[in-house]
Structure 1
Amino acid sequence: MATRKVVLRLPVEDAKKRSKALKIAVGFPGVVSATSWGDKIMIVGEGLDSVALVMALRKKFGFVELVSVANLNEDFESFADTEMNEFTQKMRHTVPSYPTITTTTHPYINPPQPYIYEVHHPTSYDSCNIM
């Protein structure tokens, strides 16, 4: 059987979920190595069933995207070294995204002015309307 390289993308927020995904991937028969970087996981193995792997990861994580599947004809050791070197070079040149802090100031708005009106009182409070 041919050696396959499978690259998956899945949303992992922390190291615990990432290690759980790697544990599931390594548990499959024929897996030689599994590495993760960012939100992607690269799995290399002999006769690896990529569809079954994606289904198992979707059970735990919900959304899993199969990015690429490739057959490897060259020696695995040299491939893994060159591939990991490329990934580390990419990671060195990427700018980390930090949350931007923005402050907004609201202009001071005066409170609404009360409506002033006159109240007319009758001059006399007599009950007789004729006079």
Structure 2
Amino acid sequence: MVKQKVVIKLSMDDARKRKKALQTAAGMDGIISTSIDGDKIVVEGDGLDSIALTTVLRKKLGHANLITVTPSDDKKEDKKEEKKEQPVVLPPYCAVVNPYPYQYGYYETSRYPDSCSIM
């Protein structure tokens, strides 16, 4: 699945609503981390259903707007994975070549080599 970063704007007036929003978001499937940035909640997850999360937060807290859904930044992990891949070093290929060429045998077809073949 793809890691996503979801930002949802909520109406959080007091600490009780903030705590309830964090607990509700953390209880969903596929959530990796949650944080609050002012009146917004930032949720990161793998296989996260952003519409279902917004619907649950609306039921619990009243008003919630889905602002952005973006793929999570994993560029650092991709670079580390690329460095881990080592090229495969094969042993050198050594072909065995016969040092002496094959000698073809010569056979005479007639009993008298100096005779004429027409007769």
Shorter-chain TM-score: which interval? 0.5 to 0.7
* Structure 2 residue identity aligned to 1:53: L
The alignment's TM-score, normalised by the length of structure 2, stands at 0.61
For residues 80-95 of structure 1, what are the structure 2 equivalents within 5 Å?
Answer: none
Quote how far apart the aligned CAs of 1:37 are. 1.7
Q: Which runs of 4+ in 1 moved over 2 A?
A: none
Match of 1:33, SS?
strand
Quote how far apart the aligned CAs of 1:70 are. 0.5
For residues 96-111 of structure 1, what are the structure 2 equivalents within 5 Å?
Answer: none
Name structure 2 gaps, 5 residues minimum: 78-119
The answer for the alignment partner of 2:33 in structure 1 is 33
Name structure 1 gaps, 5 residues minimum: 78-131
For residues 1-131 of structure 1, what are the structure 2 equivalents within 5 Å?
Answer: 1-74=1-74
The answer for the alignment partner of 1:82 in structure 2 is none
Quote how far apart the aligned CAs of 1:73 are. 4.9
Could you tell me how far apart the structure 1 residues matched to 2:61 and 2:28 are? 17
* Structure 1 residue identity aligned to 2:66: L
RMSD between aligned alpha carbons?
A: 1.7
**Does the Cα contact within 8 Å between 1:5 and 1:42 map onto a contact in 2?**
yes
Quote how far apart the aligned CAs of 1:22 are. 0.5
> Percent of pairs identical after alignment?
45
Q: Report the count of equivalent residues.
A: 77
Quote how far apart the aligned CAs of 1:74 are. 1.1
Cα distance 1:62–1:34, how it changes in 2: closer, same or farther (>3 A)? same
Quote how far apart the aligned CAs of 1:76 are. 8.2
The alignment's TM-score, normalised by the length of structure 1, stands at 0.55
